[in-house]
Every structure is written in C-alpha cells, then in structure tokens.
Structure 1
C-alpha cells in the first residue's frame, strides 16, 4: 500500500505584553494543557490569516501578525491510542488588538493566562507540545522574519470573500 505522509499544518500566535505571554488552557485527550493560541490552518486561508483567526477564536482578542517567529516540525505520539501525528507549525508574533467582551472562547478553551517566561518554563510539564516553550524562547531571543518569507499562491485564497 502506497501511503503519502501528510503532516498537519498549524499556526500559533506568540503574544507578549508587558513581559508576559498569553497562553490558553485547554482540554485535550491528555488532560488540561497549556498552549499558545494555536490551531489548524483552514482551507482558503494564508498562514497569517489562520493565525489571526485562531487567536481571535481562542482568546477573544483581535491579533495582527507582523512577523514570523519560526517554522517548526514536531512529532506527537498519543499514548492512549497510538496515534502518530507530525505537525508543521508557523508561529507569528504581532499586535494584540481589542478584546471582544461578547465573544465566547473556542470549544475546549477553559481560560486565557498571562505568564512570565519563568512561569512558562516552570509549567513545561503541562504544555500541549514542546513547541509552546520553544516558540516563546525564540521570541525572547529576538527571532523575527518578514511575513513575505511565506508565499501563498493566489489559487489558495481564490473565491474566499
């Protein structure tokens, strides 16, 4: 059987304000975990658009990606089911916008938290993925790439009005 490997593409927002990072606490099959506001890239959107959408859905904050922090490849093997998933994550930093008091957080999100880098490091055992801390460490190190580094062909977003 010829099976093509298809990694899952995800997008994540690395949001810092006043020396603290915005994380979400969410229900997962492995229990309550901490994550960057993040999720899967949807059909018809660019990685930056997907990141803005996920940040809004999970935090109720508008978010405008202004730079790429990094592109990450990670593998996760779910202990309970043996599921083996490889993720390609595009992590962005940017401008945090208004908080929408009328918007409910996405299903599974329990709450948002503002944590210092020390608190993020200390909570590593509760992270959904090792990429949570890695993205923050790269952001702290000043790693930024222009959004133009990612090219999205017009055919991807055609008809998405």
Structure 2
C-alpha cells in the first residue's frame, strides 16, 4: 500500500538527473535563478513522464546550456533531502561530452547563462551552489567513477530514449 504524507498525498521522491560535462579541467555549470537568488548547478532537472534517465540528462543539458551532449558513463545516484522543496530527492548523475553548441538557443526559464569553471572555482561558490550534490558528482567523476550507462536501464516500453 502506498505511503501517504501528513497532508494525505501519496509520498513519492523527486527524481532528478544531472550531467557532469568536462572539457580539460573545467566543468559545464549553469547560473540560474532559484528561490530569488542566483545559484550554480550542473545542467540538471526533473525526469519527465515516459522519459529515460539518460534522455532526461541529455535534454536538460540541451535546454539549459545549448550544448548537445553524448553520455559516456553513469556516475552514481544520491539520496538527499532538499531544503528548497522539503522533499527527498534521488539524483542520478551522468558523465558526457559535448557534441555541438548552439549559442543562439534560448535557455530554459530561470537560466541566466552557462559557463565553464574549474573544480576550485565551483567549490569557492560555497552556499551559492544550488545543492551540495554538485560537488559530490564532480568529485565522484574526478575520482574516476565511471559505471556503464546500462547500469541504469529502462524497462518501460513507451520510454523515450
């Protein structure tokens, strides 16, 4: 039987994806409006209905940065409680590389710009990072964590890939 929250809704964690895209010693980061302030994040967002996790990571990167990417590996999944939403989040992070860039693409609502930063520059952003998960995913990538993409697979016949 599904668990319900105190207000009677069915409990369900928020499922998000993130892309760690590196070029040399720099990582693709987005500057975005979040809770009335500028915050910094990987290209990241929510899983849409009928969408695979991998497709969501590619889509979010495109929509938020104008970069077409190909995924190379699965980095990991983190379970976290969001102070922004007060909900439990499951964040799936993928590593990839840039295929092309369209600087004329209008970026998602709330995204100010995409930029390339070194790990030390990202860490120096401190509480301006949207979540602590940003550095966790980058550090896992820097530590060499690269799991096969099929570590995370979809059995949904209608899934968009």
* TM-score normalised to structure 2 length: 0.90
Q: Secondary structure at the match of 2:88?
A: strand
Map 1:88-107; keep pairs closer than 5 Å: 88-107=90-109
Equivalent residue for 2:72, pick from 66, 71, 76 = 66
Cross-structure match for 1:143: 145
Unaligned 5+ segments in structure 2 are 5-9
Q: CA RMSD in A?
A: 1.5
Equivalent residue for 1:55, pick from 50, 54, 61 = 61
Whether the 8 Å contact between 1:25 and 1:34 is mirrored in structure 2 is: yes
Aligned-pair distance for 1:102? 2.8
Whether the 8 Å contact between 1:72 and 1:90 is mirrored in structure 2 is: yes
Q: Secondary structure at the match of 2:157?
A: helix
Whether the 8 Å contact between 1:43 and 1:156 is mirrored in structure 2 is: no
Q: Deviations over 1:46-82 (max 9, x none)?
A: 100000000000000001111001111110124xxxx
Cross-structure match for 2:18: 12
Whether the 8 Å contact between 1:69 and 1:139 is mirrored in structure 2 is: yes
Cross-structure match for 1:117: 119
Moved over 2 A (4+): none
Count of aligned pairs between the two proteins: 154
